[in-house]
C-alpha cells in the first residue's frame, strides 16, 4: 500500500539549479512566474508591495491565458458538433 503524501516531493536532477526557490518553504520552481504565483497564493503575509504587484500581474496574465484557452475549446467543440451534425444530415438524407 502506498504511503500518503503529506508534503509535495520534488526531484531536481543532479547538477541543476531551479530558476527560483521559495525562501519560506524551500520549494523549487521551473520559472520566476510560477514562483511569484506561489508566493502570492501561499505566503501573502510575507509579500512586499513589489512582490504583491508582480503577483497581481502574473495572476492577470494567467487568467487571460486560461480564458483564451477556454474560448478556443468552446469554438473547437462547436465546430466539431456542427461538422458532425451537417455530415449526418447529408449522409442520412
In tens, the pLDDT along 7-18 reads 567 777 788 888
C-alpha to C-alpha distance for 28 and 38, rounded to whole angstroms: 10
What are the DSSP E strand ranges found in 1-93? 20-21, 28-29
C-alpha to C-alpha distance for 49 and 78, rounded to whole angstroms: 43
Domain range annotation of the chain: 20-91
> From the centroid of its chain, how far is CA 85?
34
What are the grid coordinates assigned to 16, written together? 541543476
Closest CA to 40 of 12, 73, 63, 8: 63
* 0.75 surpassed by pTM: no
What are 63-81's pLDDT values in tens digits? 999 999 999 999 999 999 9
Amino acid at each position: 500500500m502506498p504511503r500518503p503524501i503529506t508534503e509535495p516531493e520534488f526531484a531536481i536532477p543532479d547538477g541543476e539549479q531551479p530558476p527560483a526557490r521559495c525562501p519560506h518553504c524551500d520549494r523549487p520552481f521551473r520559472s520566476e512566474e510560477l514562483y511569484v504565483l506561489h508566493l502570492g497564493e501561499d505566503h501573502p503575509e510575507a509579500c512586499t508591495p513589489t512582490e504583491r504587484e508582480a503577483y497581481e500581474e502574473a495572476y492577470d496574465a494567467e487568467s487571460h491565458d486560461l480564458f483564451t484557452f477556454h474560448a478556443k475549446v468552446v469554438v473547437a467543440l462547436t465546430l466539431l458538433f456542427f461538422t458532425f451534425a451537417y455530415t449526418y444530415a447529408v449522409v442520412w438524407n
